[in-house]
């Protein structure tokens, strides 16, 4: 019993908190955009399933909390038929029915009868809200906590490493990597980690002279913070962190917002680049993680934030700060994933709206319905694959095999 409680406090609760914040902000993006376009809204739900509690506001929107805390949704009036009335004939029949029941002009408040640009705006507002959330969180952390800065100076070069072959020397200061300005060893590590077996250009300051070097990080299997393994690129250089060369940099409000936007873009571009390497076969697909690994990461991040705290208050504060950072990164991932051109995701809807804008009519109902089924199958398949990777990474099968034997 104590073990179950400890597991819930360590992994499940942090995971649900992070997921609930990210999904709620995503749905609020859809909600506020719909309100701005005067779309009739029936319901806003945090969680799925039977309602635990809720209320109805003055606009008639039912706000509710479901008992399954694994997401949420906003339901526009008429959404219950959204998959079956996407073409012109069914929309005409739907308009006639609505106006017969609610009076002339009533259909104009329904999502399906808004101009295509408004529907696209409402759809894109969810992922956009995720990116805005990430910027706000990063900016808040940079103002309040600051960032640890370790000079991008080479403290040591491993013999026989890609860095040694490329000509890196001790005391070289890396000022640019793969076209990106570098002023922190952490940033350099992130670039190297996702560029295994990819030739990369570096600019280093060597005694006041700028020297250009080309190196190819090699892929190595390294332990991660979650107790599993990860395949990342390694150059073979050490940072001066062990010598105590680190400072804390804090930002002012405007500077923090700019830096938050830059970090959000960096996370997004790195995600796109890494997924591109997986699709093209240059990176192993077993690195894709799913909900189990996110839950484990949430627990580990919360623990690392609380580590070394002198009292319970400081421990909770440290965990909260660490989880905020994870929330920002996950929010970028959720925003990007929803923009993929897969039916049932926001990106798939935007694809259909783009066709409608060009052809001046909605895509045929049969085609959209088939697209939704294919998209759902792809999404479920990806989730199953990612969950399988989670089980492999967490060594669940080895554990079960040990129990059986």
Q: Provide the pairing of β-strand 209-215 with 62-76.
A: unpaired
Q: Give dist(CA 4, CA 14) in Å, integer.
A: 15
Q: Which of 115, 221, 128, 207 is nearest to 170 (CA)?
A: 207
Say if CB 121 and CB 361 are below 8 A apart: no
Cα–chain-centroid distance for residue 186? 20
Say if CB 252 and CB 237 are below 8 A apart: no
Q: Give dist(CA 352, CA 323) in Å, integer.
A: 36
Structure tokens at 100: 């017969």
Q: Which of 60, 9, 16, 70 is nearest to 39 (CA)?
A: 60
Indicate which residue of 27, 99, 147, 262 is catalytic: 27
Contacts of 290 (CB under 8 A, 6+ apart): 383, 385, 386, 387, 389, 390
27 part of the active site: yes
Say if CB 31 and CB 74 are below 8 A apart: yes
* Radius of gyration from C-alpha coordinates of the chain: 25
Question: Residue 299: how many CA atoms within 13 Å on its side-chain side?
Answer: 15
Neighbours of 299 (CB within 10 A): 22
The residues annotated as belonging to the active site are 27
């Amino acid at each position: 019993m104590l073990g179950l409680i400890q597991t819930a406090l360590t992994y499940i609760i942090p995971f649900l908190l992070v997921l609930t914040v990210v999904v709620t902000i995503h749905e609020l993006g859809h909600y506020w955009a719909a309100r701005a376009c005067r779309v009739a809204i029936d319901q806003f739900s945090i969680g799925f399933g039977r309602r635990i509690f809720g209320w109805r506001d003055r606009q008639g929107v039912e706000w509710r909390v479901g008992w399954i805390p694994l997401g949420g949704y906003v339901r526009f009036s008429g959404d219950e038929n959204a998959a079956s009335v996407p073409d012109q004939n069914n929309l005409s029949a739907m308009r006639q029915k609505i106006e017969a029941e609610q009076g002339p002009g009533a259909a104009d408040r329904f999502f399906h009868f808004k101009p295509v640009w408004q529907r696209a705006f409402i759809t894109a507002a969810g992922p956009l809200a995720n990116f805005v959330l990430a910027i706000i969180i990063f900016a808040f952390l940079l103002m309040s906590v600051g960032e640890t800065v370790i000079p991008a100076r080479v403290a040591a070069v491993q013999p026989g490493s890609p860095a040694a072959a490329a000509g890196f020397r001790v005391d070289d200061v890396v000022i640019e990597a793969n076209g990106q300005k570098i002023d922190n060893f952490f940033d350099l590590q992130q670039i190297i980690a996702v560029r295994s077996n990819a030739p990369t250009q570096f600019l280093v300051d060597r005694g006041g002279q700028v020297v250009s070097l080309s190196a190819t990080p090699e892929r190595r299997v390294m332990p991660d913070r979650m107790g599993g393994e990860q395949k990342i690129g390694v150059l073979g250089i050490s940072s001066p962190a062990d010598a105590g060369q680190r400072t804390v940099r804090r930002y002012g409000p405007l500077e923090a917002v700019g830096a938050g936007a830059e970090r959000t873009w960096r996370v997004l571009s790195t995600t796109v680049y890494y997924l591109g390497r997986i699709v093209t076969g240059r990176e192993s697909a077993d690195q894709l993680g799913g909900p189990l690994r996110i839950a484990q990461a949430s627990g580990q991040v919360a623990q690392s934030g609380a580590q070394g705290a002198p009292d319970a208050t400081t421990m909770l504060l440290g965990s909260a700060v660490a989880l905020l950072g994870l929330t920002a990164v996950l929010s970028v991932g959720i925003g990007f994933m929803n923009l993929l051109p897969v039916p049932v995701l926001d990106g798939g809807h935007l694809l259909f709206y783009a066709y409608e804008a060009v052809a001046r009519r909605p895509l045929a109902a049969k085609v959209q319905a088939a697209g939704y089924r294919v998209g759902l199958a792809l999404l479920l398949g990806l989730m199953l694959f990612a969950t399988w990777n989670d089980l492999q990474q967490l060594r669940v099968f080895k554990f079960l095999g040990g129990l059986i034997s």
